[in-house]
Amino acid sequence: MINQRRTLLSKRLTSPRGLILGLLAAILVITGLRVESMLSDRETATALQRIEDVFMLIDRRYVEETDPNEIAQYAIDGMLGELDPHSVFFDAETLKGENESFDASFEGIGISFELLPGEAGSDTLAVLSVIPGGPSEEVGLQSGDRILVVDGKSTIGFDEEDVRRHLKGPRGSEVAISVQRPGVDAMLEFDIVRDKIPLYTLDAAYMMEDNTGYIRLNRFARTTYNEFMASLRTLKAQGMERLVLDLRGNRGGYMQMAVRIAGEFLNEGELVVSQDGHTEDSKETFYATGNGLWEEGPVMVLVDGASASASEIVAGALQDHDRGLVVGQRTFGKGLVQKQYVLRDGSALRLTVARYFTPSGRLIQTDYESGDRVDYYASKAALKKTDGTQTARELLSDVPDSLRFETASGRVVIAGGGIIPDYIVPADSLSPLMRTVLGRNLENQFIRSWVDLYGASIKERWGENQDAFINGYQVEGAMLDAFRSFAADKNVLIGSGLTVDDPSESFSDEDLAADREMLSTLLKGRLATRLYDRSAWYPVWRHVDHSLVESQKLWSSAGELADLYSAAGSR
Protein backbone atom coordinates (compact mmCIF):
# COMPACT_ATOMS: atom_id res chain seq x y z
CA MET A 1 0.00 0.00 0.00
CA ILE A 2 2.78 2.41 0.92
CA ASN A 3 4.70 1.61 -2.27
CA GLN A 4 1.52 2.15 -4.31
CA ARG A 5 0.98 5.50 -2.63
CA ARG A 6 4.54 6.55 -3.36
CA THR A 7 4.18 5.53 -6.99
CA LEU A 8 1.01 7.58 -7.35
CA LEU A 9 2.62 10.48 -5.56
CA SER A 10 5.61 10.26 -7.89
CA LYS A 11 3.36 10.36 -10.95
CA ARG A 12 1.46 13.36 -9.63
CA LEU A 13 4.60 15.29 -8.84
CA THR A 14 6.35 14.61 -12.15
CA SER A 15 3.32 15.26 -14.38
CA PRO A 16 2.54 18.70 -15.85
CA ARG A 17 0.15 19.25 -12.96
CA GLY A 18 2.97 18.17 -10.74
CA LEU A 19 4.73 21.36 -11.71
CA ILE A 20 2.53 23.15 -9.19
CA LEU A 21 3.77 20.87 -6.45
CA GLY A 22 7.12 20.88 -8.15
CA LEU A 23 7.48 24.52 -7.30
CA LEU A 24 7.63 23.49 -3.67
CA ALA A 25 11.28 22.74 -4.32
CA ALA A 26 11.82 26.44 -4.58
CA ILE A 27 11.50 26.61 -0.81
CA LEU A 28 14.67 24.59 -0.47
CA VAL A 29 16.45 26.36 -3.30
CA ILE A 30 15.39 29.90 -2.56
CA THR A 31 15.86 29.90 1.20
CA GLY A 32 19.34 28.53 0.67
CA LEU A 33 20.11 31.53 -1.51
CA ARG A 34 18.58 34.10 0.86
CA VAL A 35 16.16 34.92 -1.90
CA GLU A 36 14.47 37.74 -0.05
CA SER A 37 16.91 40.07 -1.76
CA MET A 38 16.22 38.47 -5.15
CA LEU A 39 12.43 38.86 -5.26
CA SER A 40 12.02 41.28 -8.13
CA ASP A 41 8.29 41.96 -7.94
CA ARG A 42 5.11 41.39 -5.96
CA GLU A 43 3.98 38.59 -8.29
CA THR A 44 7.11 36.57 -7.52
CA ALA A 45 6.69 37.13 -3.77
CA THR A 46 3.04 36.05 -3.91
CA ALA A 47 3.94 32.88 -5.85
CA LEU A 48 6.60 32.00 -3.29
CA GLN A 49 4.12 32.46 -0.44
CA ARG A 50 1.62 30.20 -2.23
CA ILE A 51 4.26 27.51 -2.62
CA GLU A 52 5.12 27.61 1.06
CA ASP A 53 1.45 27.45 2.09
CA VAL A 54 0.80 24.38 -0.07
CA PHE A 55 3.92 22.62 1.15
CA MET A 56 3.03 23.16 4.81
CA LEU A 57 -0.54 21.97 4.29
CA ILE A 58 0.65 18.75 2.64
CA ASP A 59 3.16 18.18 5.41
CA ARG A 60 0.67 18.73 8.23
CA ARG A 61 -2.75 17.81 6.86
CA TYR A 62 -2.38 15.14 4.17
CA VAL A 63 -4.35 11.95 4.90
CA GLU A 64 -1.20 9.85 5.12
CA GLU A 65 2.18 10.58 6.63
CA THR A 66 4.53 12.12 4.09
CA ASP A 67 8.29 12.47 3.93
CA PRO A 68 9.07 16.14 3.25
CA ASN A 69 12.48 15.26 1.76
CA GLU A 70 10.87 12.79 -0.62
CA ILE A 71 8.23 15.29 -1.68
CA ALA A 72 10.92 17.92 -2.18
CA GLN A 73 12.96 15.59 -4.40
CA TYR A 74 9.93 14.72 -6.53
CA ALA A 75 9.18 18.43 -6.69
CA ILE A 76 12.66 19.32 -7.84
CA ASP A 77 12.56 16.63 -10.52
CA GLY A 78 9.19 17.90 -11.73
CA MET A 79 10.32 21.50 -11.83
CA LEU A 80 13.59 20.86 -13.63
CA GLY A 81 11.73 18.62 -16.06
CA GLU A 82 10.08 21.74 -17.44
CA LEU A 83 13.42 23.41 -18.19
CA ASP A 84 16.32 22.02 -20.23
CA PRO A 85 18.14 18.64 -20.11
CA HIS A 86 21.24 20.09 -18.44
CA SER A 87 19.79 21.85 -15.39
CA VAL A 88 20.28 19.32 -12.58
CA PHE A 89 20.09 19.00 -8.81
CA PHE A 90 22.67 17.17 -6.67
CA ASP A 91 22.15 15.94 -3.15
CA ALA A 92 25.01 16.59 -0.73
CA GLU A 93 26.66 13.17 -1.16
CA THR A 94 26.54 13.21 -4.95
CA LEU A 95 27.88 16.75 -4.96
CA LYS A 96 31.06 15.60 -3.19
CA GLY A 97 31.91 13.27 -6.06
CA GLU A 98 31.11 15.97 -8.62
CA ASN A 99 33.37 18.45 -6.86
CA GLU A 100 36.21 15.93 -6.74
CA SER A 101 35.97 15.54 -10.49
CA PHE A 102 36.03 19.29 -11.15
CA ASP A 103 38.66 20.00 -8.49
CA ALA A 104 40.76 17.17 -9.99
CA SER A 105 41.73 15.76 -6.60
CA PHE A 106 40.52 13.71 -3.65
CA GLU A 107 41.93 12.61 -0.33
CA GLY A 108 42.78 8.93 0.04
CA ILE A 109 45.51 6.31 -0.44
CA GLY A 110 46.05 6.83 -4.18
CA ILE A 111 44.93 3.74 -6.10
CA SER A 112 42.46 2.80 -8.77
CA PHE A 113 40.77 -0.47 -7.93
CA GLU A 114 38.64 -3.27 -9.28
CA LEU A 115 36.40 -5.84 -7.64
CA LEU A 116 37.21 -9.40 -8.71
CA PRO A 117 34.01 -11.45 -8.89
CA GLY A 118 33.57 -14.10 -6.21
CA GLU A 119 30.85 -16.57 -5.32
CA ALA A 120 27.60 -15.23 -3.86
CA GLY A 121 28.79 -11.63 -4.01
CA SER A 122 32.04 -12.29 -2.14
CA ASP A 123 34.06 -10.01 -4.42
CA THR A 124 37.74 -9.38 -3.75
CA LEU A 125 39.23 -5.89 -3.74
CA ALA A 126 42.28 -5.64 -6.03
CA VAL A 127 44.63 -2.83 -6.98
CA LEU A 128 44.22 -1.99 -10.65
CA SER A 129 46.95 0.64 -10.68
CA VAL A 130 48.85 2.83 -8.25
CA ILE A 131 48.67 6.58 -8.78
CA PRO A 132 52.21 7.93 -9.30
CA GLY A 133 53.49 10.03 -6.43
CA GLY A 134 50.72 8.95 -4.06
CA PRO A 135 51.03 7.35 -0.62
CA SER A 136 50.36 3.82 -1.90
CA GLU A 137 53.25 4.03 -4.34
CA GLU A 138 55.45 5.36 -1.53
CA VAL A 139 54.86 2.30 0.69
CA GLY A 140 55.23 -0.15 -2.22
CA LEU A 141 51.70 -1.21 -3.14
CA GLN A 142 51.57 -2.80 -6.61
CA SER A 143 49.10 -3.48 -9.38
CA GLY A 144 47.48 -6.87 -8.81
CA ASP A 145 47.70 -6.74 -5.00
CA ARG A 146 44.56 -8.09 -3.31
CA ILE A 147 43.55 -5.93 -0.35
CA LEU A 148 41.93 -8.39 2.05
CA VAL A 149 41.73 -6.39 5.28
CA VAL A 150 41.30 -2.66 5.99
CA ASP A 151 41.68 -1.49 9.60
CA GLY A 152 40.92 -4.98 10.86
CA LYS A 153 37.80 -5.41 8.69
CA SER A 154 37.61 -8.01 5.93
CA THR A 155 37.01 -6.50 2.49
CA ILE A 156 35.54 -9.69 1.02
CA GLY A 157 32.14 -8.75 -0.34
CA PHE A 158 32.84 -5.00 -0.42
CA ASP A 159 30.98 -2.98 -3.03
CA GLU A 160 32.36 0.20 -4.60
CA GLU A 161 30.83 2.43 -1.95
CA ASP A 162 32.37 0.30 0.82
CA VAL A 163 35.78 0.70 -0.81
CA ARG A 164 35.50 4.46 -1.02
CA ARG A 165 34.18 4.75 2.53
CA HIS A 166 37.10 2.78 3.99
CA LEU A 167 39.99 3.93 1.78
CA LYS A 168 39.15 7.58 1.30
CA GLY A 169 39.57 9.86 4.28
CA PRO A 170 41.04 13.11 5.56
CA ARG A 171 44.56 13.97 4.58
CA GLY A 172 46.99 12.90 7.32
CA SER A 173 44.80 10.09 8.66
CA GLU A 174 46.21 6.56 8.63
CA VAL A 175 44.78 3.28 7.37
CA ALA A 176 46.19 -0.21 7.94
CA ILE A 177 45.75 -2.76 5.16
CA SER A 178 46.66 -6.42 4.69
CA VAL A 179 47.58 -7.48 1.18
CA GLN A 180 47.91 -10.79 -0.63
CA ARG A 181 50.40 -10.47 -3.47
CA PRO A 182 50.45 -13.08 -6.25
CA GLY A 183 53.62 -15.15 -5.97
CA VAL A 184 54.26 -14.14 -2.37
CA ASP A 185 53.23 -16.61 0.35
CA ALA A 186 53.15 -14.31 3.37
CA MET A 187 50.50 -11.65 3.89
CA LEU A 188 51.93 -8.14 3.47
CA GLU A 189 51.04 -5.39 5.95
CA PHE A 190 51.03 -1.67 5.11
CA ASP A 191 50.28 1.44 7.13
CA ILE A 192 49.35 4.19 4.69
CA VAL A 193 48.94 7.86 5.53
CA ARG A 194 46.21 9.34 3.38
CA ASP A 195 47.06 12.39 1.31
CA LYS A 196 45.62 14.65 -1.37
CA ILE A 197 45.57 12.65 -4.59
CA PRO A 198 45.53 14.39 -7.98
CA LEU A 199 43.01 13.29 -10.59
CA TYR A 200 44.76 14.05 -13.84
CA THR A 201 42.63 15.40 -16.66
CA LEU A 202 45.32 14.76 -19.26
CA ASP A 203 45.29 11.08 -20.22
CA ALA A 204 48.35 11.07 -22.43
CA ALA A 205 50.97 13.29 -24.07
CA TYR A 206 53.65 11.77 -26.28
CA MET A 207 55.39 12.01 -29.64
CA MET A 208 53.64 9.77 -32.16
CA GLU A 209 56.39 10.25 -34.72
CA ASP A 210 59.50 12.38 -35.01
CA ASN A 211 57.48 15.55 -35.56
CA THR A 212 53.90 14.73 -34.46
CA GLY A 213 52.76 15.34 -30.90
CA TYR A 214 49.61 13.95 -29.29
CA ILE A 215 47.68 15.29 -26.27
CA ARG A 216 44.47 13.77 -24.94
CA LEU A 217 42.26 15.55 -22.39
CA ASN A 218 39.47 13.68 -20.62
CA ARG A 219 37.72 16.74 -19.08
CA PHE A 220 38.22 20.40 -18.21
CA ALA A 221 38.86 20.81 -14.48
CA ARG A 222 40.79 23.31 -12.36
CA THR A 223 44.18 21.79 -13.24
CA THR A 224 43.62 21.17 -16.95
CA TYR A 225 45.29 24.29 -18.34
CA ASN A 226 48.44 23.75 -16.28
CA GLU A 227 48.59 20.07 -17.30
CA PHE A 228 48.08 21.00 -20.93
CA MET A 229 50.75 23.71 -20.91
CA ALA A 230 53.35 21.51 -19.23
CA SER A 231 52.80 18.80 -21.86
CA LEU A 232 52.79 21.27 -24.74
CA ARG A 233 56.13 22.69 -23.63
CA THR A 234 57.60 19.19 -23.29
CA LEU A 235 56.46 18.16 -26.77
CA LYS A 236 57.78 21.37 -28.32
CA ALA A 237 61.14 20.71 -26.69
CA GLN A 238 61.11 17.23 -28.24
CA GLY A 239 60.76 18.70 -31.73
CA MET A 240 57.00 18.74 -32.27
CA GLU A 241 56.00 20.43 -35.54
CA ARG A 242 52.31 19.43 -35.62
CA LEU A 243 49.83 18.51 -32.91
CA VAL A 244 46.89 16.15 -32.45
CA LEU A 245 44.53 17.41 -29.73
CA ASP A 246 42.25 14.50 -28.83
CA LEU A 247 38.96 15.57 -27.23
CA ARG A 248 37.04 12.37 -27.92
CA GLY A 249 34.93 11.34 -24.94
CA ASN A 250 35.61 14.69 -23.22
CA ARG A 251 32.26 15.84 -21.82
CA GLY A 252 33.49 19.27 -20.83
CA GLY A 253 33.82 21.07 -17.52
CA TYR A 254 34.98 24.58 -16.71
CA MET A 255 34.45 27.05 -19.55
CA GLN A 256 37.40 29.15 -18.42
CA MET A 257 39.78 26.22 -18.92
CA ALA A 258 38.49 25.77 -22.47
CA VAL A 259 38.91 29.50 -23.16
CA ARG A 260 42.51 29.50 -21.91
CA ILE A 261 43.47 26.39 -23.88
CA ALA A 262 41.85 27.63 -27.10
CA GLY A 263 43.70 30.90 -26.58
CA GLU A 264 47.04 29.10 -26.84
CA PHE A 265 46.27 28.43 -30.51
CA LEU A 266 44.92 31.88 -31.38
CA ASN A 267 46.31 35.36 -31.82
CA GLU A 268 45.79 37.80 -28.98
CA GLY A 269 42.38 39.49 -29.04
CA GLU A 270 40.59 36.89 -31.15
CA LEU A 271 37.15 35.84 -29.93
CA VAL A 272 36.98 32.38 -28.37
CA VAL A 273 33.34 32.20 -27.27
CA SER A 274 30.46 34.46 -26.22
CA GLN A 275 27.46 33.77 -24.01
CA ASP A 276 24.06 35.38 -23.67
CA GLY A 277 21.47 34.90 -20.93
CA HIS A 278 18.48 36.48 -19.22
CA THR A 279 20.47 38.63 -16.81
CA GLU A 280 23.18 41.18 -17.51
CA ASP A 281 25.84 39.24 -15.60
CA SER A 282 25.30 36.23 -17.88
CA LYS A 283 26.20 38.18 -21.02
CA GLU A 284 29.95 37.80 -21.58
CA THR A 285 32.57 37.52 -24.29
CA PHE A 286 35.90 35.74 -23.95
CA TYR A 287 39.02 36.47 -26.00
CA ALA A 288 42.47 34.98 -26.46
CA THR A 289 44.97 36.82 -24.30
CA GLY A 290 48.74 37.12 -24.51
CA ASN A 291 51.01 35.16 -26.81
CA GLY A 292 49.77 31.62 -27.41
CA LEU A 293 52.26 28.79 -27.20
CA TRP A 294 51.03 27.13 -30.42
CA GLU A 295 49.83 29.97 -32.64
CA GLU A 296 51.65 28.48 -35.62
CA GLY A 297 51.99 24.95 -36.91
CA PRO A 298 49.28 22.48 -37.98
CA VAL A 299 46.79 21.27 -35.39
CA MET A 300 44.17 18.56 -35.68
CA VAL A 301 41.27 18.25 -33.23
CA LEU A 302 39.71 14.79 -32.80
CA VAL A 303 36.08 14.73 -31.62
CA ASP A 304 33.20 12.30 -31.34
CA GLY A 305 29.62 12.12 -30.12
CA ALA A 306 30.73 12.33 -26.49
CA SER A 307 32.75 15.52 -26.99
CA ALA A 308 30.60 18.14 -25.29
CA SER A 309 30.39 21.61 -23.80
CA ALA A 310 33.94 22.90 -23.13
CA SER A 311 35.29 20.47 -25.75
CA GLU A 312 32.96 22.01 -28.30
CA ILE A 313 34.09 25.50 -27.31
CA VAL A 314 37.69 24.59 -28.17
CA ALA A 315 36.80 22.74 -31.37
CA GLY A 316 34.38 25.47 -32.46
CA ALA A 317 36.87 28.28 -31.86
CA LEU A 318 39.65 26.57 -33.80
CA GLN A 319 37.29 25.63 -36.62
CA ASP A 320 35.73 29.11 -36.93
CA HIS A 321 39.11 30.83 -37.02
CA ASP A 322 40.44 28.24 -39.55
CA ARG A 323 43.12 27.46 -37.00
CA GLY A 324 42.65 23.70 -36.78
CA LEU A 325 41.22 20.79 -38.75
CA VAL A 326 38.37 19.08 -36.87
CA VAL A 327 38.18 15.33 -37.55
CA GLY A 328 35.93 12.53 -36.31
CA GLN A 329 32.20 12.40 -35.62
CA ARG A 330 29.57 15.07 -34.90
CA THR A 331 29.95 16.37 -31.34
CA PHE A 332 27.31 16.12 -28.62
CA GLY A 333 25.74 19.54 -29.12
CA LYS A 334 25.67 21.18 -25.68
CA GLY A 335 25.58 24.94 -26.10
CA LEU A 336 24.23 25.81 -22.66
CA VAL A 337 26.11 27.31 -19.72
CA GLN A 338 25.41 26.17 -16.16
CA LYS A 339 26.12 27.94 -12.88
CA GLN A 340 26.19 26.00 -9.64
CA TYR A 341 24.36 27.29 -6.55
CA VAL A 342 25.20 25.50 -3.30
CA LEU A 343 22.30 25.30 -0.84
CA ARG A 344 22.40 25.44 2.95
CA ASP A 345 22.03 21.66 3.39
CA GLY A 346 25.08 20.96 1.20
CA SER A 347 23.07 20.09 -1.92
CA ALA A 348 23.35 22.14 -5.10
CA LEU A 349 21.42 23.31 -8.12
CA ARG A 350 23.35 23.45 -11.38
CA LEU A 351 21.16 25.79 -13.39
CA THR A 352 21.41 26.78 -17.04
CA VAL A 353 21.94 30.55 -17.07
CA ALA A 354 23.06 31.25 -20.65
CA ARG A 355 23.63 29.97 -24.16
CA TYR A 356 27.08 30.13 -25.69
CA PHE A 357 28.03 30.91 -29.28
CA THR A 358 31.16 30.08 -31.29
CA PRO A 359 33.14 32.95 -32.86
CA SER A 360 31.13 32.76 -36.11
CA GLY A 361 27.91 33.16 -34.10
CA ARG A 362 26.84 29.52 -34.08
CA LEU A 363 24.66 28.09 -31.33
CA ILE A 364 25.51 24.39 -31.42
CA GLN A 365 22.90 23.27 -28.85
CA THR A 366 20.74 20.35 -29.96
CA ASP A 367 17.02 21.15 -30.01
CA TYR A 368 15.08 19.95 -26.97
CA GLU A 369 11.49 19.91 -25.76
CA SER A 370 11.60 21.24 -22.20
CA GLY A 371 13.57 18.81 -20.07
CA ASP A 372 12.59 15.62 -21.92
CA ARG A 373 15.89 13.76 -21.65
CA VAL A 374 14.59 10.59 -23.35
CA ASP A 375 13.72 12.31 -26.64
CA TYR A 376 16.77 14.54 -26.33
CA TYR A 377 19.24 11.67 -26.28
CA ALA A 378 17.25 9.67 -28.81
CA SER A 379 17.52 12.55 -31.29
CA LYS A 380 21.28 12.56 -30.83
CA ALA A 381 21.46 8.84 -31.55
CA ALA A 382 19.48 9.40 -34.76
CA LEU A 383 21.86 12.15 -35.88
CA LYS A 384 24.85 9.94 -35.19
CA LYS A 385 23.37 7.15 -37.31
CA THR A 386 22.79 9.55 -40.21
CA ASP A 387 26.29 10.96 -39.98
CA GLY A 388 27.75 7.51 -40.53
CA THR A 389 26.44 7.50 -44.11
CA GLN A 390 27.21 11.08 -45.15
CA THR A 391 30.29 13.17 -45.73
CA ALA A 392 30.78 16.56 -44.09
CA ARG A 393 30.05 18.24 -47.45
CA GLU A 394 26.76 16.32 -47.81
CA LEU A 395 25.69 17.22 -44.29
CA LEU A 396 26.42 20.89 -44.93
CA SER A 397 24.34 20.84 -48.11
CA ASP A 398 21.25 19.58 -46.26
CA VAL A 399 20.79 22.48 -43.82
CA PRO A 400 18.74 25.68 -44.30
CA ASP A 401 20.42 29.05 -44.78
CA SER A 402 19.42 30.11 -41.26
CA LEU A 403 21.82 27.52 -39.84
CA ARG A 404 24.69 28.23 -42.21
CA PHE A 405 27.61 30.32 -40.95
CA GLU A 406 31.07 31.12 -42.27
CA THR A 407 34.54 30.76 -40.83
CA ALA A 408 37.11 33.55 -41.00
CA SER A 409 38.13 32.47 -44.52
CA GLY A 410 34.58 31.85 -45.76
CA ARG A 411 34.27 28.10 -45.22
CA VAL A 412 30.68 27.05 -44.45
CA VAL A 413 29.90 25.65 -40.99
CA ILE A 414 26.49 24.99 -39.47
CA ALA A 415 24.72 25.65 -36.19
CA GLY A 416 22.57 23.31 -34.12
CA GLY A 417 23.07 19.68 -33.23
CA GLY A 418 26.75 19.82 -32.38
CA ILE A 419 29.86 20.63 -34.39
CA ILE A 420 30.21 18.78 -37.67
CA PRO A 421 33.89 17.94 -38.29
CA ASP A 422 35.68 19.17 -41.38
CA TYR A 423 36.29 15.50 -42.12
CA ILE A 424 33.90 12.85 -40.84
CA VAL A 425 35.44 9.51 -39.93
CA PRO A 426 32.61 7.07 -39.18
CA ALA A 427 33.10 5.11 -35.98
CA ASP A 428 34.79 1.78 -36.68
CA SER A 429 32.51 -1.23 -36.33
CA LEU A 430 33.87 -4.16 -34.35
CA SER A 431 33.88 -7.71 -35.66
CA PRO A 432 31.74 -10.33 -33.87
CA LEU A 433 34.90 -11.79 -32.29
CA MET A 434 36.05 -8.46 -30.87
CA ARG A 435 32.52 -7.62 -29.67
CA THR A 436 32.52 -10.88 -27.71
CA VAL A 437 35.99 -10.35 -26.26
CA LEU A 438 35.23 -6.81 -25.15
CA GLY A 439 31.62 -7.46 -24.19
CA ARG A 440 32.61 -10.26 -21.83
CA ASN A 441 35.71 -8.43 -20.60
CA LEU A 442 37.81 -11.48 -21.50
CA GLU A 443 40.96 -9.50 -22.27
CA ASN A 444 40.96 -7.75 -18.89
CA GLN A 445 40.36 -10.96 -16.97
CA PHE A 446 43.11 -12.72 -18.90
CA ILE A 447 45.68 -9.95 -18.45
CA ARG A 448 44.94 -9.88 -14.73
CA SER A 449 45.90 -13.55 -14.47
CA TRP A 450 48.87 -13.02 -16.82
CA VAL A 451 50.23 -10.25 -14.60
CA ASP A 452 49.79 -12.49 -11.55
CA LEU A 453 51.97 -15.11 -13.23
CA TYR A 454 54.50 -13.07 -15.19
CA GLY A 455 54.18 -9.45 -14.08
CA ALA A 456 57.27 -9.56 -11.87
CA SER A 457 59.50 -10.97 -14.62
CA ILE A 458 58.14 -8.51 -17.20
CA LYS A 459 58.81 -5.60 -14.87
CA GLU A 460 62.27 -6.98 -14.14
CA ARG A 461 63.07 -6.86 -17.85
CA TRP A 462 61.50 -3.50 -18.73
CA GLY A 463 61.65 -1.76 -15.36
CA GLU A 464 60.03 1.68 -15.26
CA ASN A 465 60.96 2.38 -18.88
CA GLN A 466 57.45 2.66 -20.27
CA ASP A 467 58.61 3.83 -23.71
CA ALA A 468 60.96 0.85 -24.07
CA PHE A 469 58.12 -1.55 -23.20
CA ILE A 470 55.72 0.10 -25.66
CA ASN A 471 58.25 0.03 -28.48
CA GLY A 472 59.80 -3.35 -27.73
CA TYR A 473 57.29 -5.72 -26.14
CA GLN A 474 55.64 -8.14 -28.56
CA VAL A 475 52.54 -10.28 -28.00
CA GLU A 476 53.78 -13.67 -29.20
CA GLY A 477 52.00 -16.85 -30.18
CA ALA A 478 52.33 -18.37 -26.71
CA MET A 479 50.38 -15.49 -25.18
CA LEU A 480 47.65 -15.70 -27.81
CA ASP A 481 47.40 -19.46 -27.29
CA ALA A 482 47.09 -18.89 -23.54
CA PHE A 483 44.34 -16.36 -24.21
CA ARG A 484 42.48 -18.82 -26.43
CA SER A 485 42.67 -21.44 -23.66
CA PHE A 486 41.41 -18.88 -21.17
CA ALA A 487 38.50 -17.97 -23.48
CA ALA A 488 37.67 -21.68 -23.92
CA ASP A 489 37.41 -21.99 -20.13
CA LYS A 490 34.86 -19.19 -20.36
CA ASN A 491 32.95 -21.17 -23.00
CA VAL A 492 34.15 -19.11 -25.98
CA LEU A 493 35.90 -21.12 -28.71
CA ILE A 494 38.39 -19.17 -30.85
CA GLY A 495 39.97 -21.06 -33.75
CA SER A 496 40.76 -24.76 -34.00
CA GLY A 497 42.87 -27.06 -31.84
CA LEU A 498 40.77 -26.62 -28.70
CA THR A 499 37.69 -28.46 -27.52
CA VAL A 500 34.66 -26.91 -25.84
CA ASP A 501 31.74 -29.24 -25.18
CA ASP A 502 29.03 -26.67 -25.74
CA PRO A 503 30.51 -23.27 -26.61
CA SER A 504 28.28 -20.26 -26.13
CA GLU A 505 30.08 -18.65 -29.07
CA SER A 506 32.50 -20.05 -31.64
CA PHE A 507 34.91 -18.34 -34.05
CA SER A 508 36.97 -19.78 -36.89
CA ASP A 509 40.69 -19.65 -37.65
CA GLU A 510 39.81 -17.08 -40.32
CA ASP A 511 38.12 -14.88 -37.70
CA LEU A 512 41.22 -15.10 -35.52
CA ALA A 513 43.53 -14.27 -38.43
CA ALA A 514 41.45 -11.23 -39.40
CA ASP A 515 41.48 -9.86 -35.84
CA ARG A 516 44.95 -10.97 -34.81
CA GLU A 517 46.50 -7.49 -34.91
CA MET A 518 43.67 -5.85 -33.00
CA LEU A 519 43.51 -8.65 -30.42
CA SER A 520 47.27 -8.56 -29.90
CA THR A 521 47.19 -4.78 -29.55
CA LEU A 522 44.31 -5.00 -27.10
CA LEU A 523 46.19 -7.47 -24.88
CA LYS A 524 49.37 -5.42 -25.01
CA GLY A 525 47.46 -2.22 -24.18
CA ARG A 526 45.76 -3.79 -21.16
CA LEU A 527 49.09 -5.17 -20.00
CA ALA A 528 50.80 -1.78 -20.37
CA THR A 529 48.03 -0.11 -18.36
CA ARG A 530 48.46 -2.53 -15.46
CA LEU A 531 52.24 -2.41 -15.49
CA TYR A 532 52.46 1.38 -15.79
CA ASP A 533 49.37 3.57 -15.84
CA ARG A 534 46.47 4.71 -18.01
CA SER A 535 48.70 6.87 -20.19
CA ALA A 536 50.46 3.75 -21.52
CA TRP A 537 47.28 2.61 -23.26
CA TYR A 538 47.20 5.34 -25.91
CA PRO A 539 50.58 4.93 -27.65
CA VAL A 540 49.90 1.18 -27.83
CA TRP A 541 46.33 1.43 -29.14
CA ARG A 542 47.05 4.19 -31.67
CA HIS A 543 48.09 1.68 -34.33
CA VAL A 544 44.53 0.28 -34.53
CA ASP A 545 42.64 3.43 -33.47
CA HIS A 546 40.52 3.90 -36.59
CA SER A 547 39.83 7.65 -36.26
CA LEU A 548 43.41 8.43 -35.30
CA VAL A 549 44.85 6.34 -38.14
CA GLU A 550 42.53 7.99 -40.69
CA SER A 551 43.30 11.46 -39.35
CA GLN A 552 47.00 11.05 -40.10
CA LYS A 553 46.18 11.02 -43.80
CA LEU A 554 44.89 14.60 -43.57
CA TRP A 555 47.97 16.54 -42.53
CA SER A 556 48.18 18.31 -45.87
CA SER A 557 44.73 19.83 -45.24
CA ALA A 558 45.68 20.75 -41.68
CA GLY A 559 48.86 22.32 -43.01
CA GLU A 560 46.91 24.40 -45.53
CA LEU A 561 44.70 25.74 -42.74
CA ALA A 562 47.75 26.62 -40.64
CA ASP A 563 49.28 28.52 -43.57
CA LEU A 564 45.96 30.29 -44.23
CA TYR A 565 45.68 31.33 -40.59
CA SER A 566 49.27 32.52 -40.45
CA ALA A 567 48.87 34.57 -43.64
CA ALA A 568 45.68 36.20 -42.34
CA GLY A 569 47.39 37.12 -39.07
CA SER A 570 50.35 38.72 -40.80
CA ARG A 571 48.22 41.09 -42.89
Q: Which of 129, 143, 309, 347 is catalytic?
A: 309
The CA-atom distances, in angstroms, between 155 and each of 118, 121, 131, 158, 188 are: 12, 12, 21, 5, 15
DSSP output for 73-121: HHHHHHHHTTS-TT-EEE-HHHHHHHHHHHHTEEEES-EEEEEE--GGG
Distance CA 362, CA 259 (A): 16
* CA nearest neighbour of 244 among 549, 518, 526, 529: 549
* Contact (Cβ atoms closer than 8 angstroms) between residue 289 and residue 263: yes
309 is annotated as an active-site residue:
yes
Q: How many CB atoms sit inside 10 A of residue 60's CB?
A: 8
- What is residue 160's three-state secondary structure? helix
Decide: residue 335, CB within 10 A, 0-12 exposed, 13-18 middle, 19+ buried. Answer: buried
What lies within 8 Å, CB to CB, of 21 at 6+ separation is 12, 13, 54, 58, 71, 74, 75, 78
508 is annotated as an active-site residue:
no
* Contact (Cβ atoms closer than 8 angstroms) between residue 394 and residue 348: no
* Contact (Cβ atoms closer than 8 angstroms) between residue 204 and residue 535: yes
* CA nearest neighbour of 466 among 521, 525, 528: 528
- What is residue 336's three-state secondary structure? strand
* Contact (Cβ atoms closer than 8 angstroms) between residue 72 and residue 91: no
87 is annotated as an active-site residue:
no
What lies within 8 Å, CB to CB, of 177 at 6+ separation is 109, 147, 149, 150, 151, 189, 190, 192
* Contact (Cβ atoms closer than 8 angstroms) between residue 540 and residue 203: no
User: Tell me, what DSSP letter sits at residue 255?
Assistant: H
Q: Which of 334, 515, 520, 524 is catalytic?
A: 334
Distance CA 183, CA 435 (A): 33
What are the residue numbers of the active site?
A: 309, 320, 334
